[in-house]
Amino acid sequence: MSDITLVNLSLIILLLPIFGFTILIFFGKRFPKLYLLETTFLGIAFVLAAIIGFVKLGTLTEHTIIFQFTWIDFGKLPLFGHLKFILGVKIDNLTAIMLLVVTLISFLVHVYSIGYMHGDKRFSRYYAYLGLFSFSMLGIVLTHNLLTLYIFWELVGLSSYLLIGFWFEKKSAADAGKKAFLVNRVGDIGMFLGILILFTNYHTFTYDSIFAAIGAGHLPFNSPAWLTAAGILLFMGAVGKSAQFPLHVWLPDAMEGPTPVSALIHAATMVAAGVYMVARIFPMLTADALLVIALVGGFTSFLAATIAITQNDIKKVLAYSTISQLGYMVMALGVGSYAYGFFHLVTHAWFKALLFLGSGSVIQAMHHEQDIRQMGGLRKKMPITYYTFLVATLAISGVPFFSGFLSKDGLLLGTYAFGSLTGHILIPIFGFTVVVLTAFYMFRLVIITFHGEPRNQEKYDHAKESPKVMTIPLIVLAVLSFFFWYSPNPFSSESGWFISKWIPTPHSVVPENMRFNFMKTAGEAAGHVQNGGEAIVHSPMYMEALHHAHYPAMILSILLAALGIFLAYWIYQWKKVDPDMLADRFNWLYKFSLNKWYFDELYHATFVAGTVGLGKVLAWFDSNIVDGVVNGAAWVTRKVSQFSGAFDHYVVDGLVNFSAFASGFLGLVLKKFQTGKVQTYVVFVVFSVLILLLIFRPF
Amino acid sequence: MNGFPILSVITFLPILGMIIVLSMPKEKNREVKIATLVITILQVILAVILLANFNYSLGGINDPKSFQFVEKFRWIEIPGISWIGTFKVDYYLGVDGLSMAMVLLTAIVTFIATLSSWTINKSVKGYFALFLLLDTAMMGVFVALDFFLFYIFWELMLLPMYFLIGIWGGPRKEYAAIKFFIYTLVGSVLMLLVMIGLYFSAKETLADGSQVYTFNLLALMNPKNYTHTGLLSPLNADNIRLIAYIGLFIGFAIKIPMFPFHTWLPDAHVEAPTPISVILAGVLLKMGTYGILRISYPIFPEITRQLMWYIALFGMINIIYGALVALAQKDFKKLIAYSSVSHMGYVLLGMASLSAVGINGAIFQMFNHGTITAMLFLIVGVVYDRAHTRGIYDFGGLATQMPVYTGVVIVAFFAAIGLPSLSGFISEALVFFGAFAVTTTRTLAIISTLGILLGAAYMLWTLQRIYFGKLNEKWANMKDLDLREIVMFVPLMIIVIYLGIYPSAMLNLLHASVAHLTNFMAQHAQSFLISSL
């Protein structure tokens, strides 16, 4: 199959969902069955993605396909040269795998929603939004440049906003949507600044051209610090989208959206976009940037896991679990364990989607009850939901024979090697602690929800297994959570095609002195750049550290997972210790965890209240000071004109009137002489002549 | 166009309409409205004809030969006035990419505003006569190439605007109208002074070889035309050119409106009837930034370069300050008014960068702000018509009651937020690309990115307070959009989405002029400076 065929197929995959969106928005109300069209579109998209995956991963493994065209041509400009904004598609192995993941989960969620959203008054609207989301997410996956990445990035933000606030009549849902969008925007500003730095220096947005330029030794503003800054700023986008500390606060609230949406967007695909982006820009990340990324990821995974252990809302537990697992992926990329970071993204997508869809099944059976303290004993009522949920739990806990074990084990190994080579041992400590916590909170969830006796008899009595349209997606996802899809050997991911063949670590383009020692390759010629596809050869030191750590790390992670599971059974199944008693004894810690480390309160008191307060102060300033000056000037003008009015009236006009008065008075006096009698005039004349004679004395 | 005076026709067609409207019997309200609508539709058609015949490769700006659809003849000529010599004013019209974009915008927004004026029932004849007069004045500003003519159109716009706010406005209409009038007049006085100063500083060589003082903008852009003794000559060592520049700039800045000269805007908007707000935000604000680009920049390139940081600073203040003040508003219309202040800040920031990308972004932003803000004010108008209140907290849950309307609102709000795939994104992004690329404005550009966040904050908060949540029972009978309202939104929505996906449609139009302007500025900033040495 030729390259151009694959590109065409990928464009069809991209455009099918948005086509469905357009149709549903305009005709959804009139034709309520149109959702079937959108579902079919996603089904077709999945089939096409499977074809691309098969061709690409089966035969064209080493080959990257790029297709691009000019979107905006600015012509020759001073400062920028001949400037063009180019759009394009890049299909490498990462893309092919992501296409499969996104289309399949999206398709399953479309199917599942037929049952879950049945009877909702905005059913068509819901499917329209799902279509919009699928389009934007596929765009992120397919694009070959940062500008379109940013465009689709914002569009998934929009669809996420619309879907979280889908039941906008509920204030909490509307609030959550707004919060998600705004918190994401904080990260996006960073990402945008990162793009600005790169664009200003390289006048292009395409990954490959940027990497080529860096590889050729052209650093942003000729400074290594700016390269690190660009990496960290771009990563800020991922911090927002993938809900990493300190921007993780939006994801738990996002659970206000319909549960299938949580599965699709807020667990499996969109939140993984951040991880995907970091994987895309991986070649340009310096050691400092990577360290920041590893620390943020590690801390996030720890933070979220400590919160998950005390939550009572089934979706909140899963939400924090998602944050924690995303932290894992980010951490893996940070420590240079590139393939495992991405591998975990894929395995996590299946089992986390499964967990959410399973929880949706439970929630619907319990008549929209989400509090696990109202559940219990559902195992008997909902066997399919229970067993599939259990498979996912085993996978996420890192139990052998399941997918999660393979990806998690490799990832932990990476942190272990990283810790021992660079001395940043905090990172493996986070990594391994989270294993215990994950196994514990997941089994706590399973035991309280499905095992034991029902706590709310009435709701329990009404509960029943969900219809086939919902359980079949669960079964599909459960099957995907077993090991054999990824490696023939349940204990070794390295022998699997995923790690050994499909996901080579890309070549770093960062100058050697800005890389970790273990990521330097011996005798690498500066300026020699290959992007994508070519495996980096880690230093022998690194390989050796990996090799040494292999078995200890694996055994440790299995033991820790077992410990977590055991503790959960000890407390919740066998009830050897009363959890309330524990909560009382460690009250401070318990409260801290239950209240999510008080992040919401903190942010609200500082950023939110600060901004709104500043707005109020400035609004006051605007209408009283700025406008006050204007009105003051008007007042002064009025007063001046009143004064000049008075001056005019009394002085200027006064003078005029006075002169009028004076001349009038004079006239009054003089008219006395105008008698009209000739005799009088003759007398006046005679007198006048006499006076004149007297004055001039001509004699 | 083979000698057909299309620019004169598009400019004075509304005057013809005004005469028709005035000659109609008083009680024929409907006919008056239809006549106005026909005129504005004809204007849109003419604008499209202009666009279709427009040569995208010609730059314009200072080059008389690359202006298009030019009409030029002697309008006033008084020979032999003592030491002045011949006093002459040319009737000089022409368009380049920059003005073409504005002509399009004016035609479209006026058409939409006419549809929105359908609900006017008070002295209909007078309203539409003034409305059409305003239309001529706006068009004239964007096609005039002679400073004197430009000034006349600029002033002409004041009169109808004053009455349209003062008679058809809200409760405090007199205050708002007078404030608008006086504020703009202050700007006009400054402009007039600079115009006279320029007139006596430069001489244009006519075809017969004689040299006369000139208002010709293109002649004023040439440093060689300045006389040695001219007050505003580059040879003048005093800072008089700087002072003149600042005066002229303030004249334009009031119109934008730029902080701290912006407080007339919220009052004018709140009191003005919806269609007048649409015109005010959609077209009139652009006259300020247009004037800066058309007149201040090419006539004072060296001063512009000297002050670019300050222009960017005020751009940044507009962006952040406007957004923060908008956040605190409780009146829907006032909030949108302040959002205009914020969005016009992007125009200033992009212009200040003096880079082609930034200026492209700025002009594109002018166009986009025109269409998007027109939508926003129409949106306010829709609820105000029905509820007679604009308090943000008086509403809630309208989405349940008015789904079509809310769909429009979501498109418009996200366009204002700068969502990619809608037109506002490209222009804002270009502004940032341009302003960040230039060292002088880089820090200010970085700070300004906060506006992206704040913009989303006040918009989404408003969206939530008015449209989401439980429906306020008071509005349980509110009707969704009727056909006329849909017709008024649809063209704007199509433009916003089309330009979001295919921005080249607008950018290609601007490209030659912007490239010409930046090249010209770069060269002449030098020659203006050198000749002053």
Q: What pLDDT, in 10s, does the model give residues B89-109? A: 889 999 999 999 999 999 999
Residues of B in contact with A611 (CB under 8 A): 324, 327, 454, 457
pLDDT confidence bin for A323, thresholds 50/70/90:
very high
**What pLDDT was estimated at residue B442?**
92
Residues of A in contact with B445 (CB under 8 A): 196
pLDDT confidence bin for A196, thresholds 50/70/90:
very high
Selection from B16, B33, B29 nearest residue B133 by Cα = B16
pLDDT confidence bin for B528, thresholds 50/70/90:
low
Residue B469 Rama label (left phi>0; alpha psi -120 to 50; beta): left
pLDDT confidence bin for B527, thresholds 50/70/90:
low
Mean pLDDT for all residues in chain B: 90
Selection from B346, B306, B297 nearest residue B452 by Cα = B346
Kindly state the average pLDDT of the residues A47-62.
85
Yes or no: say if A347 and A404 are a contact pair by the CB < 8 Å rule.
Answer: yes
Return the axis-axis angle of helices A383-397 and A540-568, rounded to nearest 10°. Answer: 140
**What pLDDT was estimated at residue B33?**
93
3-state SS class at B425 = helix
**What pLDDT was estimated at residue A528?**
40
CA distances from B146 to B79, B136, B410 (A): 19, 16, 42
The answer to whether the Cβ–Cβ distance between A189 and B182 falls below 8 Å is: no
pLDDT confidence bin for A247, thresholds 50/70/90:
very high
Residue at B489 is within a domain: yes
Residues of B in contact with A626 (CB under 8 A): 259-260, 262-263
CA–CA min distance B504, chain A (Å): 5
- The answer to whether residue A640 scores a pLDDT higher than 50 is yes
**What pLDDT was estimated at residue A433?**
93
For residue A203, which amino acid is it? Answer: H
Q: Between B328, B464, B504, which is nearest A178 by CB?
A: B464
3-state SS class at A118 = coil
Instruction: Check if B329 contacts A (Cβ < 8 Å).
Output: yes
Beta strands in A199-346 (DSSP E): none
Measure the CA–CA gap between B242 and B252, rounded to whole angstroms.
Answer: 15
Residue at B339 is within a domain: yes
Residue B93 is classified by DSSP as: E
- The answer to whether residue A525 scores a pLDDT higher than 50 is no
With CA atoms as reference, the chain A residue closest to B176 would be: A631
**What pLDDT was estimated at residue A534?**
40
Measure the CA–CA gap between A110 and A131, rounded to whole angstroms.
Answer: 9
Residues 134-193 of B with CB under 8 A from A: 179, 182-183
Kindly state the average pLDDT of the residues A249-255.
92
Q: Percentage of chain A surpassing pLDDT 90?
A: 47
Q: Percentage of chain A surpassing pLDDT 70?
A: 97
Q: Which residue has the tokens 């009250």?
A: A587
Instruction: Check if B453 contacts A (Cβ < 8 Å).
Output: yes
Residue at B238 is within a domain: no
Q: Which residues pair with B78 in a beta bridge?
A: B87
The answer to whether the Cβ–Cβ distance between A77 and B515 falls below 8 Å is: yes
Retrieve residue A184's tokens: 């994401």
Residue at B7 is within a domain: no
- The answer to whether residue A526 scores a pLDDT higher than 70 is no
Instruction: Check if B356 contacts A (Cβ < 8 Å).
Output: yes
Angle, vertex CA B453, rays to CA B452 and CA B455, nearest 5: 70
DSSP string computed for B298-347: HHSHHHHHHHHHHHHHHHHHHHHHHHHHHHT--BHHHHHHHHHHHHHHHH
pLDDT confidence bin for A485, thresholds 50/70/90:
confident
With CA atoms as reference, the chain A residue closest to B413 would be: A158
Kindly state the average pLDDT of the residues B245-258.
93
With CA atoms as reference, the chain B residue closest to A121 would be: B400
Q: Between B262, B410, B436, which is nearest A196 by CB?
A: B436
**What pLDDT was estimated at residue A502?**
83
CA distances from A386 to A389, A447, B263 (A): 5, 10, 64
pLDDT confidence bin for A459, thresholds 50/70/90:
confident
CA–CA min distance B277, chain A (Å): 20
The answer to whether the Cβ–Cβ distance between A630 and B356 falls below 8 Å is: no
Residues of B in contact with A25 (CB under 8 A): 407
**What pLDDT was estimated at residue A445?**
93
Length of chain B: 533
Picking from A670-679, B346-355, B455-464, which range would have the lowest pLDDT averaged per residue?
A: A670-679
Yes or no: say if A354 and A389 are a contact pair by the CB < 8 Å rule.
Answer: yes
With CA atoms as reference, the chain B residue closest to A614 would be: B324
Picking from A433-442, A580-589, B79-88, B264-273, which range would have the lowest pLDDT averaged per residue?
A: B79-88
Q: What is the dihedral angle through the alpha carbons of B410, B414, B415, B417, rounded to the nearest 10 degrees?
A: 150
**Bigger pLDDT: A236 vs A509:** A236
| Count of Cβ atoms closer than 10 Å to residue A312 Cβ | 14
CA distances from A402 to A347, A354, A385, A556, A560 (A): 9, 14, 18, 17, 16
**What pLDDT was estimated at residue B533?**
42
Residues of A in contact with B308 (CB under 8 A): none
Instruction: Check if B522 contacts A (Cβ < 8 Å).
Output: yes
Domain count, chain B: 1
CA atoms within 13 A on the CB side of B393: 3
pLDDT confidence bin for A674, thresholds 50/70/90:
confident
**What pLDDT was estimated at residue B436?**
93
Residue at B467 is within a domain: yes
Yes or no: say if B323 and B451 are a contact pair by the CB < 8 Å rule.
Answer: yes
Q: Between B182, B450, B468, which is nearest A165 by CB?
A: B468
pLDDT confidence bin for B211, thresholds 50/70/90:
confident
pLDDT per residue over B279-318, tens digit each?
Answer: 999 999 999 999 999 999 999 988 898 899 999 999 999 9
**Bigger pLDDT: B314 vs A453:** B314
The answer to whether the Cβ–Cβ distance between A80 and B438 falls below 8 Å is: no
Select the highest-mean-pLDDT range: A442-446, A480-484, A586-590.
Answer: A442-446
Kindly state the average pLDDT of the residues A149-167.
93
Residues of B in contact with A73 (CB under 8 A): 504, 508
Residues of A in contact with B324 (CB under 8 A): 611, 614-615, 618-619
- The answer to whether residue B457 scores a pLDDT higher than 50 is yes
Residue B85 Rama label (left phi>0; alpha psi -120 to 50; beta): left
With CA atoms as reference, the chain A residue closest to B321 would be: A618
Selection from A189, A510, A181 nearest residue B436 by Cα = A189
The answer to whether the Cβ–Cβ distance between B357 and A614 falls below 8 Å is: no
Q: Which residues pair with A77 in a beta bridge?
A: A81
CA dihedral for B91, B96, B99, B100, sign (positive or negative): positive
Yes or no: say if A168 and B468 are a contact pair by the CB < 8 Å rule.
Answer: yes
The answer to whether the Cβ–Cβ distance between A181 and B329 falls below 8 Å is: no
The answer to whether the Cβ–Cβ distance between A154 and B260 falls below 8 Å is: no
**What pLDDT was estimated at residue A294?**
94
Q: Between B263, B397, B503, which is nearest A169 by CB?
A: B397
Instruction: Check if B461 contacts A (Cβ < 8 Å).
Output: yes
**What pLDDT was estimated at residue B93?**
93
The answer to whether the Cβ–Cβ distance between A196 and B357 falls below 8 Å is: no
pLDDT confidence bin for B85, thresholds 50/70/90:
confident
- The answer to whether residue A440 scores a pLDDT higher than 70 is yes
Instruction: Check if B511 contacts A (Cβ < 8 Å).
Output: yes
The answer to whether the Cβ–Cβ distance between A169 and B507 falls below 8 Å is: no
Residue at B502 is within a domain: yes
**How far is the first Cα of chain A from the last one, in angstroms, to the nearest whole number?**
142
Residue at B194 is within a domain: no
With CA atoms as reference, the chain B residue closest to A630 would be: B263
Which residues constitute the domain of residue B518? 300-533
- The answer to whether residue A531 scores a pLDDT higher than 50 is no
Measure the CA–CA gap between A234 and A195, rounded to whole angstroms.
Answer: 7
DSSP string computed for A508-525: P-S-GGGS-GGG--TTPP
Residue at B326 is within a domain: yes
The answer to whether the Cβ–Cβ distance between A74 and B468 falls below 8 Å is: no
- The answer to whether residue A79 scores a pLDDT higher than 60 is yes
**What pLDDT was estimated at residue A523?**
45
Residue A309 is classified by DSSP as: T
Enumerate residues 6+ apart whose C-beta is below 8 A from A457: none
With CA atoms as reference, the chain A residue closest to B327 would be: A615
Enumerate residues 6+ apart whose C-beta is below 8 A from A310: A583, A590, A593, A594
Measure the CA–CA gap between A596 and A248, rounded to whole angstroms.
Answer: 11
Kindly state the average pLDDT of the residues B455-471.
91
